[in-house]
Structure 1
Amino acid sequence: MTRSSAFDWILAPDLQAVFDLLLQDGDEARVVGGAVRNSLLGEKVDDIDIATTAEPSVVMERAKRVGVRAIGTGLEHGTVTLVGDGRAFEVTTLRADVETFGRKAVVRFGRDWEEDARRRDFTLNALYLDRTGKLIDPLGGLEDCLARRVIFIGDPDLRIREDYLRILRFYRFHATYGAGTPDPEGRAACLREKEGLKHLSAERIAKELLKLVAAKGAADSLAVMQEDGLLELLLPGGANVQAVARLQGLAAEGTLARVAPAVALAVLVDGGEAQLAAVADRLKLSNALRERMVGAHRAVALWDDLRRDRPEVDLLRVLRRMAFDLGLEATGDGLALVLVRAGEADAQAIEDARRGLGALTGVSVPVFPLAGRDLMAAGLPAGPALGVALKRLQAVWIDSDFQADRAALLAVLGTGTPE
């Protein structure tokens, strides 16, 4: 088979060097999964994973001999990460399950490529590529991949029981790569096995859910999950799938450059900060994700407050104030939420928010030009009065639309106004 130009990346020198390392003493190696699938579908190729018959200890030893950095990232499951020229390749020895119970499956290493393929999740992920770019399809997954069908390998119920996270992966892969409606057999299996989601760690659920909500087809997959009662197991307080559809529409039309996972989750969880906190606790989200979700909601409230009773709002002034209070990222997230929530009757809010998103690239976060030492140098003694004066001067600076400079503010201090 002639190599497709979609697979030209296979010839990269650093990847070929990894093949040189692995293809020794009768061992074989092939790129597997995401890189092959994405190339066939015209999607971006990020990580390149490699399957090999060489056992992990052998891979580590060969890497050491030629000076390639090798990290035992999952030796019990046969995974070694090789790093060359700044790029990492995850190399995993062919495996066959001896006993399966979620992530703690007992495996043995092997040399049977079809057996290795049959233990994977979906047919579109069981596609391999040799070092020349020849496609190898042991289970007939190519047809499913090109048709954008997400199909479990073998018995869907058994695949799910091996790892209940595959329920979320089924919907996430359909949202990312699928066409039409989810596979009926796969969907039915997910519905039958949905109670297994309760056995997954919060961190694993969160990681998969954040990928799902930001996928281009998220709204349709989430609607199916909601209909089947899966979302209520994951998100306390309910979910607003229609809002996610509107967010995706903003990205599709170019109003948003991309859909950030935290913003998509904040849109889906549309019950205010209390529900956001409950979801963040349920999913054990990082502080950074919590802050971004809450920041988006607070930006909406500040936007509404700054625009209230001001039909001729000075948009740039509002944006500068929001950027100063909450930061540029939260300001943009908040404007996206405004557009998601705005009804047809609030045409002015929609117009202002769209203009605001467009103008935000030209806005920088204002920096207050004074510090406590400046007031002390001007003769104000240290103590509580210093903080009061600094706060009052900052209010004057904000009222000036952040235009008053250091000299002007110190002049105000001399008048006694801030006392």
Structure 2
Amino acid sequence: MSGGRVLRDAPWLSSGPAARVLEVFNGSGEEARVVGGAVRNALLNIPIGDVDIATTALPDEVIRRARAAGIKSVPTGIEHGTVTLVVDSQPFEVTTLREDVETFGRKAKVAFGRDWVRDAQRRDFTINGLSVSADGTVHDHVGGLDDIAAGRVRFIGDPDQRIAEDYLRILRFFRMHAAFGAGEPDRDGVLACIRGRPGLASLSAERVRMETLKLLVAEGAPTAIIAMEDGGLLLALFGGVAYRGPFKAMVAAERMLGLKADPIRRLGALGVAVTEDAKRLAIRLRLTNGETKALDSMGHRWWRLAGMDEPTARRRLYRLGEVRYRDRLLLAWARAGGDSDPAPWRELATLPERWSAPKFPLKAADFKARGIAEGPALGHVLTIAEDAWLAADFPLEQSALAAIADQSAARFTRDHRL
């Protein structure tokens, strides 16, 4: 297996920043190719993200050639052979070909080389082990082309060895299958992930968070989640029960409503029944403050949103805001089970599209005029009035507002005389 297939319809190879970088490192005894995810995505006709480049040139030569071409270079990982070049504000990681000398987790000892086959063989999955030359020739040393055609995600070489090199590859295996695979995950890969499960404890929470959130929004996430739960991997990651039924229902609800897949919303469906679950997940995955608050809000009495009439739903929407209302409602919907009638849930979920909550129209001045003094008392009576305004279904007529203000002030005064 090597060159043969030509990548068509890839103008970024012949012009633009990536083509310029390749031109700098091809010739005078050196070779450069695009490697990894950009090649995979181009072959699948899906948008490419970062363009990573491998070269036979040693790091010092990479820097020398970049300087001679007027390209900014940053030695971001030079001990591992990686130099980042910036062309037209676009970064490119340029890495010298490598081969493993000793493998012990992420701290593997590597040696620079000039062998494209050995470099491909040290990568994680066959679909990521492809490279493409500047002329569009695709080089396949590991069977990646056949696996792309079959929708199959396989480890390169011995799965146990690949996993031992970096236990994050367990999560990456399922994420790659969720994004690019078809049918059930590769059995040999799944079994190796189960055998490597204890190694998950050695990973940093930040790396686990990054991979987990990416996995949850992948197209085939429900299938991957089932395989992970069956293998005991979710329990090891989350430290608690995972709910694959609500997760599948959440994915279906998002799609029914035309919503963009949201990783925190899906994490809530998968792992949150009560707020204590949200707190545990936030710690184990080291979620950001914003993510933690969103997850905690979802888990807070979500069951109270089931079976609401529209006036009650409007009050919830007013209190929670559109995003928190929808997320909590979708969790209630997901946990109601797939057999529930979707029509009422859809009505509640689309309420923000039909109705915008007005602002509370009464002000502090309205209550000062009724004899309420400045200070905590004023805040208290405003809360009483706002509750009454919500119970009256958000009236805006002056007569109704005056009545609410009078009644609230009178109630506060009466209660504080007792």
TM-score range (shorter-chain normalised) is 0.7 to 0.9
Aligned-residue offset at 1:239 = 0.9
State the Cα deviation string for residues 298-323 of structure 1 (Å, max 9, x = none). Answer: 3734524x82xxxxx22xx5454333
Give the Cα separation in 2 of the matches to 1:134 and 1:27: 17
Check 1:374–1:38 CA distance in 2 against 1; reply closer, same or farther (3 A cut).
farther
In structure 2, the partner of 1:250 is 253
Check 1:405–1:16 CA distance in 2 against 1; reply closer, same or farther (3 A cut).
farther
Q: Choose the corresponding residue for 1:393, options 361, 381, 385.
A: 385
Which residue identity is paired with 2:327? Answer: D
Which residue identity is paired with 2:300? Answer: R
Check 1:394–1:112 CA distance in 2 against 1; reply closer, same or farther (3 A cut).
same
In structure 2, the partner of 1:310 is none
Give the Cα separation in 2 of the matches to 1:273 and 1:32: 43
Check 1:408–1:123 CA distance in 2 against 1; reply closer, same or farther (3 A cut).
same
Work out whether residues 93 and 110 of structure 1, in 8 Å CA contact, stay in contact via their aligned partners in 2. yes
Q: Choose the corresponding residue for 2:202, options 192, 199, 202.
A: 199
Superposed counterparts of 1:51-200, under 5 Å? 51-64=54-67, 66=69, 68-200=71-203
In structure 2, the partner of 1:210 is 213
More moved, 378-387 vs 198-207: 378-387
Check 1:163–1:413 CA distance in 2 against 1; reply closer, same or farther (3 A cut).
same
> Which secondary structure state, in structure 1, belongs to the residue aligned with residue 153 of structure 2?
coil
More moved, 1-10 vs 180-189: 1-10
State the Cα deviation string for residues 76-132 of structure 1 (Å, max 9, x = none). Answer: 323333333343333322222222222222223222211111110011101112223
Give the Cα separation in 2 of the matches to 1:152 and 1:169: 10
In structure 2, the partner of 1:263 is 265
In structure 2, the partner of 1:281 is 283
In structure 1, the partner of 2:415 is none
In structure 1, the partner of 2:295 is 293
Question: Structure 1 unaligned runs (5+)?
Answer: 308-312
Percent of matched pairs sharing the same residue: 41
Give the Cα separation in 1 of the matches to 2:25 and 2:194: 41
State the Cα deviation string for residues 340-380 of structure 1 (Å, max 9, x = none). Answer: 22247753xx3222123334334445444566578669985
More moved, 407-416 vs 161-170: 407-416
Give the Cα separation in 2 of the matches to 1:144 and 1:258: 29
Work out whether residues 67 and 73 of structure 2, in 8 Å CA contact, stay in contact via their aligned partners in 1. yes
State the Cα deviation string for residues 130-165 of structure 1 (Å, max 9, x = none). Answer: 223221212231111111111111111111111111
Which residue identity is paired with 1:389? Answer: V
In structure 2, the partner of 1:335 is 329
Give the Cα separation in 2 of the matches to 1:158 and 1:8: 37
Q: Choose the corresponding residue for 2:234, options 217, 231, 235.
A: 231
Give the Cα separation in 2 of the matches to 1:164 and 1:360: 43
State the Cα deviation string for residues 365-400 of structure 1 (Å, max 9, x = none). Answer: 544456657866998543222212332333344345
Question: Structure 2 unaligned runs (5+)?
Answer: 413-418
Check 1:408–1:91 CA distance in 2 against 1; reply closer, same or farther (3 A cut).
farther
Which residue identity is paired with 2:145? Answer: L
The answer as to 2:376 corresponding to 1:384 is: yes
Aligned-residue offset at 1:250 = 3.1
Give the Cα separation in 2 of the matches to 1:78 and 1:387: 62
Work out whether residues 10 and 132 of structure 1, in 8 Å CA contact, stay in contact via their aligned partners in 2. yes
Check 1:18–1:323 CA distance in 2 against 1; reply closer, same or farther (3 A cut).
farther
**Alignment RMSD:** 3.1
Check 1:189–1:365 CA distance in 2 against 1; reply closer, same or farther (3 A cut).
same
More moved, 127-136 vs 409-418: 409-418
Check 1:59–1:413 CA distance in 2 against 1; reply closer, same or farther (3 A cut).
farther
More moved, 262-271 vs 356-365: 356-365
In structure 2, the partner of 1:352 is 344
Which residue identity is paired with 1:109? Answer: F
> Which secondary structure state, in structure 1, belongs to the residue aligned with residue 175 of structure 2?
helix
Which residue identity is paired with 2:107? Answer: K
TM-score normalised by the chain length of structure 2: 0.85
Check 1:399–1:162 CA distance in 2 against 1; reply closer, same or farther (3 A cut).
same
Work out whether residues 299 and 322 of structure 1, in 8 Å CA contact, stay in contact via their aligned partners in 2. no
Q: Choose the corresponding residue for 2:315, options 292, 299, 321.
A: 321
TM-score normalised by the chain length of structure 1: 0.85
